[in-house]
Amino acid sequence: MNPPDLPADRRTANGDRRTHAEVDGAGTHVVKAPPDPPPGPLPGLPAGRLECATWPEVAVAHPVLVVAVGSCEQHGPHLPLGTDSVIAAAVAERLVAGLEAADRPAVLAPIISIGASGEHAGFPGTLSFGSAVMEEMVVELVRSADHFAAVVIVNGHGGNTAALAAAGERLAAEGRRPVVIPCSFARGDAHAGRTETSVMLALAPDLVRIDLAEPGAVEGWPELRDRVLAGGVASVSPNGVLGDPTGATAAEGRSLLDDLVARSLATALAALNALVDPVDPVDPVDPVDPADPVDPPARLHG
Ligand SMILES: [Zn+2]
């Protein structure tokens, strides 16, 4: 049924809603009606996205806010710039579902899809806020989220780690304790290699140019670290890859992802339990301290 107040120029002669640009009898173009909203209810809480919820729903559910933080940076000639964001968003989405299943209402925040990627400067397409802005952004975001039960940050990019740790220290001094979950896979290479390529084949195969996958700098991260920090990724790997993506498979990606999600959920639940249990307060040196992530990446990932 048409809304009774639909303007006359958005109705046809018999009162139907116009769905296309039309020319009326006088040859005058009329403005087409805006598209109808998508059918069905919005996802909403408790398992949906924050953008789809209303403030009263948030107030009633008092959910945990899960924030995915990624990057927009080069990932070699074969993976998209948004690789870290795709991975962080997928882990965060599964974390929300896992928290829900554990009777912890949770909601997914809008993703932060640009991070601190200075080490990838020089590769076209890379965008970066830098660590100082990243730190400030996270501090302000968490400060603004006091009406949530807690904040869980899923970090898909190793270059964001320092900014998140610094933000965590400042927030902890204010009594705010965001839980930081690094997307640190159980095994793998540093950047755009077999690990990330496998995970992307599992999550978004249409975005992987697998025929362009080629090795980059294949030394281990301990050997590469100082050179990358001094001269950026471009100084050690002209194609931007740290590792060897050849041989990556979707099956391996699914396995890596399942393992990461299971560990992340266990870490998040332990941290959230500690946050809300008055007889077991979080110790400043507790491994879930956001300034000292439970599972710090052993190598730069992302
Ligand atoms: Zn990455």
Question: pLDDT digits over 261-272, tens only?
Answer: 999 999 999 999
Query: How far, in Å, from the CA of 80 to the mean position of ligand 1?
Result: 9
**Domain-embedded: residue 89:** yes
Residue 16 is assigned to a structural domain of this protein:
no
In the predicted structure, residue 164 carries a pLDDT above the cut 70: yes
Q: Write the CB contacts of 27 (distance below 8 Å, at least 6 apart in sequence).
A: none
Three-state DSSP class for 263? helix
Cα 31 to middle of ligand 1, angstroms: 45
Assigned domain for 146 exists: yes
Helix locations, the chain, DSSP H: 55-61, 83-101, 130-143, 161-173, 194-203, 221-231, 250-276
Does a structural domain hold residue 78?
Answer: yes
Q: Give a yes or no: residue 291 inside a domain.
A: no
| Rg, C-alpha atoms of the chain | 23
pLDDT on residue 187: 76
Q: What CATH number is given to the structural domain containing 110?
A: 3.40.50.10310
Mean pLDDT confidence for 203-220:
96
Tell me whether residue 128 is in a domain. Answer: yes
Residue 4 C-alpha to ligand 1 middle, in angstroms? 52
Q: Please give the Cα distance from 49 to 59 (Å, whole number).
A: 15
Indicate whether 62 belongs to any domain: yes
Q: 245: CA distance to ligand 1 center in Å?
A: 12
Report the number of distinct structural domains present in the chain: 1
Residues spanned by the domain of 63: 50-186+252-276
- Residue 196 CA to ligand 1 center (angstroms) comes to 6
Domain annotation covers residue 238: no
What integer pLDDT is reported at residue 186 of this predicted model?
81
Cα(203)–Cα(250) distance, rounded to whole angstroms? 8
CA 116 – ligand 1 centroid, Å: 12
Looking at the predicted structure, is the pLDDT value of residue 42 above 80?
no
191 C-alpha to ligand 1 centroid (Å): 6
